[in-house]
Amino acid sequence: MFKSFSMELAGRTLTIDVGRVAKQANGAALMHYGDTTVLSTATASDKPREGIDFFPLSVEFEEKMYAVGKVPGGFNKREGKASENSVLTARVIDRPMRPLFPKDYRNDVTLNNLILSVDTECRPEIVAMLGSAIATAISDIPFAGPCAMTQVGLVDGEFVVNPSQKVWDEGDLQLTVASTREKVIMIEAGANIVPEDKMLEAIYMAHDVNQTIIQFIDKIVAEVGKEKHEYESCAIPEELFDKIKEIVPPTEMEEAVFTDDKQVREENVAAIKEKLEEAFAENEEWLALLGEAVYQYQKKTVRKMILKDHKRPDGRKIDEIRPLAAEVDLIPRVHGSAMFTRGQTQICDIVTLAPLSEAQRIDGLDENITSKRYMHHYNFPSYSVGETKPSRGPGRREIGHGALAEKALMPVLPSEEEFPYTIRAVSETFESNGSTSMASTCASCMSLMAAGVPLKAMVAGISCGLVTGETDDDYIVLTDIQGLEDFFGDMDFKVTGTTEGITAIQMDIKIHGLTKPIVEEAIRRTREARLFIMDTCMKKAIETPRQTVSEYAPKIEMIQIDPDKIGDVVGKSGKTINAIIEETGVKIDITDEGQVSVCGVDKAMIDKAIGYINTIVTDFEAGEIYEGVVVSIKEFGAFVEFAPGKEGMVHISKIAKERVEHVEDFVTLGDKVKVKCLGKDKMGRISFSMKDAK
C-alpha cells in the first residue's frame, strides 16, 4: 500500500514515498528533497553466508549522469565504475549503519541508493544517507535504529544546516553527523581550520536536528514498518569459551598479547591457537569456530586489561604516543619526499609538481567542480602487514584514506595565483600497525614543504580509541591507537589540524554511539597529540616550506596578455605556439582570460619563451631593437623572423649605409641580425632597418 510522509527540514520539504516502487526489496523509500530524488532500498539474503566471520554489508551510491541532464563522457556512453565521490559517500553511509546491525548477523545485506534527479540546493548525499536509514528501519531486516544524519556548513561564522552544493563547496566547514536517539554515532568533517569549540558546537547542533528526524522516522516505522525477521545466530557458544579458558588461562593470553611488537604478538597467538587445535582435534564443530573464538578471547582480554587495569598491550600510558621519527629528502630526483614513522606505522610520501593543465578532470553530479589541482593518493601493499597477496589496485579503504589526508591538507594549500602548479602527493605504506591515514597526513605535510609548496601552516593528525564498559560513565579514551586497539576497541576517532584548529575529522565506532563527554575528550586529546607531534618530530625534520622548488621540478612563470592577442600567440593552426614550444622545450597553456602559463625545467628557456610571447603581443613602436633570423630574401629586401611566426621586412635601402646592389651580397638565409623597428608600412607589415640598428 502506497503512503507518503513529509516533514520540513532546514527550510525545505522532505517527502518519503513508501510502497510506490521497488516493492520486492525488504525495504524501499523513494526520497524527495526539493527536486532531488533518490531511491533507497535495503535487501537481505534469506540465509547467512557460510564460512565468514564478519557481517557482509554492501552500500552503493549510484550516480547517474541523467540526474543532472548530462551524457557520460568518454567513449563508452554509460556509467562505469563508481566515482571517488560515490565510494566516499557509500563509506559515510556504511559507518553509522554497520554498528546497528546485530553483531552475530551473517546474512548479506545491500543498501542501494539510486540518484534519479539532483537539485543543487539539496545535495543527493544527505538524501541517500537518510534514505538508507529509513529503508532499513521500515524493512524486516534486524536493525537497532533508527538513525539520522545531518550536514552542517559554515559561512561568515554562521552555521547552515543541510547547505546547498555551492555553500558546501565554498564554505569553511563540511560536517556530517549521524546520531541515534541518545548518542552521536558518526562524524565526518572537512574544515578550513575551525577551532575545536566551534566544531563541537556544530556537532551538537547537527545532533539536535537528528533527533527531530528520528521522531519523523519513528512515525513512518509505526505506520508501515515490517516486523523484524528471525535469523540464525553465528555467535560463539559459551561452552566453547569456557573450555578454551580451561586450556589457556586468562593470564597466559595476557602474556601473549602484552608486547609492543606486532609480529611477536601474532606468533604468540598462533602458538595458542595451535595448542587449542590439538586439544579439539576430535571436535570438528568446535574446530570450525576456533579462529573466531580465539579472536574473541583476545578481544575480551585486551579490553579487560585496558578498562580495568589501565594497561595497554604495548605497555604505554593511556595518553602516550608511540616513538616518533621523521625525515625529508630520502628519495632522490623526485620533487619532494618525506617519511613519517610512529611505532610500527611508517609512511613515505612523494610529491610531484606539474602544470595546471594536468589537473584531474572530474565528470560528476557536482557541476561546480570540474577539476582539482591537488590529489592525494594512498597505497596499502600487503607487505606492510607482513602478508602476501596480488595487487588489484586501490579499494574503497585506500580511496577513503587518501581522501581523508587530502581533505586534511586542502585548507593550508596556496592558491593557484600564489603557486600555479598541479600537485600530487602519494603516500606509500611501508609498515602498518594502526592509523596509517594520520601518518599519511603528517608525511604529506612534510613532503609538500620539502617540495617547496608554500603551505600556510603545518598540519598533523592522530587517532584516539575507546574502550567502554557496561555504563556510559565506564570508559577509557586511548591516544594513538595501534592496530590491536583498533580491532578490539570501540572507536577510531581521527582528527587532523594546525595549531589554530581542525582541518578534518573521521570517526568510526562499533557501538551504539558516543556521549558528549567522550566526544569532547577525544577532541581535546587529539589536539594535544597533534601539537606534540609537530613540536617534537615534524618541525625537527622541516620547520618551514622551502623557498624554491626542486631542481628536477618544472618551473612555472605566469604572465597576462590581452585576450584579443591570444590568436597571435597561437598562430594559424597552432603554428606560432608550436614553434615556440619546439625551440624552447617548454609547455605553454593559455586561458580564455589571457593568463599564460609557461612551464619548463630550464629557467633560461622559460625566459626565452616569455620573451617571444611578449614580443608577439606587443604593439610595435618605432625605435625598438630586435634580434632575428633572415628567413627569406627577395630582390627588394629581406624578411627577418624576430619571434616564432612573426616577421618583418628590411627594404634593400635599409640594409646598409652604403648602396646595396644585391641583397645577397650582405645577408644570407639563416643569418642572425639586429634590426630596428620603423613601424608599419602602408600594407600593415612591420618594417625594419638593419643599418640603423648598428
Give residue 116's pLDDT band: very low, low, confident or very high (50, 70, 90): very high
Helix (H) and strand (E) counts for the chain? Answer: 16, 29
How far is residue 649 from each of residues 527, 575, 611, 681, measured CA to CA in Å?
A: 70, 20, 20, 10
Answer whether residue 665 shows pLDDT above 90. Answer: no
What are the strands, taking DSSP E only, across 456-534?
A: 460-468, 475-479, 491-497, 502-509
Burial class (CB in 10 A: 0-12, 13-18, 19+), 684: exposed
Nearest to 47 by CA among 38, 58, 56, 35: 56
Residue with cell 608511540: 322
Share of the chain above pLDDT 90, in %: 61
Kindly tell me the sign of the dihedral angle through the C-alpha atoms of 634, 638, 641, 645. negative
* Rounded average pLDDT over 652-669: 87
The pTM assigned to this predicted structure is 0.87
pLDDT at 58 exceeding the cut of 80: yes
**pLDDT (tens digit, 9 = 90+) per residue, 125-136?**
999 999 999 999
Average pLDDT, the chain: 92
Closest by alpha carbon to 256, among 272, 241, 243?
Answer: 272
State the virtual CA torsion across 649, 655, 659, 665 in degrees, nearest 10: -100
Alpha helix positions (H), 98-157:
124-138
DSSP element (H, E) containing 349? strand 345-354
Contact partners, residue 204, CB within 8 Å, separation at least 6? 516
Q: Is the Cβ–Cβ distance between 99 and 137 less than 8 Å? A: no
Task: Look at residue 172 in the predicted model and tell me its pLDDT.
Answer: 97
| Whether the Cβ atoms of residue 400 and residue 87 lie closer than 8 Å to each other | yes
Write down the pLDDT at residue 50: 87
Say if CB 322 and CB 314 are below 8 A apart: yes
The length of the chain, given as a count of residues: 694
pLDDT of residue 655: 87
Is pLDDT above 90 for 287?
Answer: no
* Better-predicted residue by pLDDT, 538 or 394: 538
Q: Which of 346-350, 425-429, 528-532, 649-653 has the lowest mean pLDDT?
A: 649-653
198-256 residue pLDDT tens: 999 999 999 999 999 999 999 999 999 999 999 988 888 888 888 888 899 988 888 88
pLDDT in the model for residue 87: 94
Check pLDDT > 80 for residue 273. Answer: yes
pLDDT of residue 571: 86
Q: Smallest Cα–Cα separation from 480: which of 409, 543, 537? A: 537
Q: What is the pLDDT of residues 356-386, one digit of tens each?
A: 888 898 877 876 677 899 999 999 999 998 8
Considering only CA atoms, which of 25, 24, 7, 691 is closest in space to residue 16? 7
Query: What's at 229, amino acid-wise?
Result: H
**Higher pLDDT pick, 118 / 278:** 118
Q: Give CA–CA dist 435/492, Å, rounded.
A: 9
Confidence check: pLDDT of 549 > 80: yes
Task: Report the distance separating Cα 190 and Cα 411, nearest Å.
Answer: 9
59: its cell numbers: 552500500
Start-to-end Cα distance in the chain: 96
pLDDT score, position 679: 80
* Residues 403-444: tens digit of each pLDDT: 999 999 999 999 998 999 999 999 999 999 989 999 999 999
Question: Up-side HSE of residue 548: CA atoms within 13 Å toward CB?
Answer: 7
**How many CB atoms lie under 10 A from the CB of residue 370?**
12
Q: Alpha-carbon distance 52 to 355, whole Å?
A: 48
- Cα-based distances in Å from 11 to 128, 216, 671: 18, 16, 75
Residue 661 has pLDDT above 90, yes or no: no
Quote the pLDDT of residue 614. 85
**DSSP readout, 213-278?**
HHHHHHHHHHHHPPPPPP----PPPHHHHHHHHHHS-HHHHHHHH--S-HHHHHHHHHHHHHHHHH
Per-residue pLDDT tens digits for 26-37 = 999 999 999 999
Quickly state the pLDDT bin for 352 (edges 50, 70, 90): very high
Spatial separation of the C-alpha atoms in residues 239 and 537, rounded to whole Å: 50
CA 218 to chain centre: 35
